């Protein structure tokens, strides 16, 4: 079943066209990695799906419903959760409070404070600490946990590894693998190709706002991806 269907989406910032006629499908239960160089349009595309950026043209269809004009909070209620770049926690609230704030628009489902803490063991000892006192990796875990608290049907993750030490990224990705194995549907932006290929079933590469490669992650030709990523030559 197609959960997300992006059709010929164009996103602009004034005269700058950040996303150019992008079409993309995500099937229920699938994990798709959006890759591409800086400025390729990945964040803008994710934000357009979440309702944080109003597209110039095209459609965003979620579970068969056209949500292109729906405000972000209504999309959360439908089951779309975005973990934005930069985490954006409430710094003076504790870990648990940050998680509970997100629960106000909760859908029914498996995620609650307890199950989030189980999937992110690094937070268990920190649950009563203010978010501001946490390390970058712990803050990222809270940001993902906060999105899970809404019990999303589609989880959008924007560069969860940004600014984190490799060992911390490993821990965050271990938890993500657990979340994915629970059957979540995930669309994630990841600059690190190796990590993207490890976690995703399918990879979509953007170059200057356009989809230049879309392929199953298993058996993907790395050279082709690198060429698409840097626009060295059009992949065959």
The yes or no reply on residue 39 touching ligand ATP (CB under 6 A) is: yes
The yes or no reply on residue 137 touching ligand ATP (CB under 6 A) is: no
Which residue of 22, 40, 67, 143 would you call a contact of ligand ATP, by CB under 6 A?
40
| Binding string, residues 43-82; x marks residues near ligand ATP by CB under 6 A | xx--------------------------------------
The yes or no reply on residue 36 touching ligand ATP (CB under 6 A) is: yes
Q: How far apart are CA 145 and CA 98, in angstroms?
A: 9
Which residue of 16, 77, 177, 232 would you call a contact of ligand ATP, by CB under 6 A?
16
In angstroms, the Cα distances linking 29 to 4, 24, 84, 107, 185 are: 11, 15, 21, 18, 4
3-state SS class at 174? helix
CB atoms within 10 A of CB 133: 12
Q: Measured on CA atoms in the order 214, 170, 84, 177, is the torsion positive or negative? A: positive
Would you mind telling me the total number of residues written for the chain in this entry?
236
Stretch binding ligand ATP (CB under 6 A), from 35-43, 70-78, 133-141, 145-153: 35-43
Q: Of the two residues 32 and 95, which places its CB atom closer to ligand ATP in the complex? A: 32
Cβ-in-10-Å burial (0-12, 13-18, 19+) of 233 comes to exposed
The yes or no reply on residue 18 touching ligand ATP (CB under 6 A) is: yes
The yes or no reply on residue 140 touching ligand ATP (CB under 6 A) is: no
Q: Which residues contact ligand ATP (rule: CB under 6 A)?
A: 13, 16, 18, 36, 38-44
């Amino acid at each position: 079943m197609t959960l997300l269907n992006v059709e010929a989406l164009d996103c602009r910032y004034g005269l700058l066209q950040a996303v150019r006629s992008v079409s993309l499908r995500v099937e229920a239960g699938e994990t798709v990695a959006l890759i591409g160089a800086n400025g390729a349009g990945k964040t803008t595309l994710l934000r357009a799906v979440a309702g944080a950026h109003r597209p110039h043209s095209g459609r965003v269809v979620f579970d068969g419903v056209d949500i292109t004009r729906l405000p972000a909070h209504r999309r959360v209620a439908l089951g779309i959760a975005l973990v934005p770049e930069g985490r954006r926690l409430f710094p003076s609230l504790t870990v648990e409070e940050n998680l509970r704030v997100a629960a106000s628009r909760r859908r029914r489902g498996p995620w609650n404070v307890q199950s989030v803490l189980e999937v992110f063991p690094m937070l268990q000892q920190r649950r009563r600490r203010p978010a501001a006192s946490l390390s970058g990796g712990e803050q990222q875990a809270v940001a993902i946990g906060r999105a899970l608290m809404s019990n999303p049907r589609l989880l959008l993750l924007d560069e969860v590894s940004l600014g984190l030490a490799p060992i911390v990224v490993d821990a965050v990705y271990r938890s993500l693998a657990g979340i994915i194995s629970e059957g979540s549907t995930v669309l994630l932006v990841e600059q690190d190709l190796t990590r993207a290929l490890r976690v995703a079933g399918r990879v979509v590469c953007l170059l200057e706002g356009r989809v230049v490669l879309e392929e199953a992650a298993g058996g993907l030709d790395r050279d082709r991806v690198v060429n698409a990523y840097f626009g060295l030559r059009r992949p065959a």
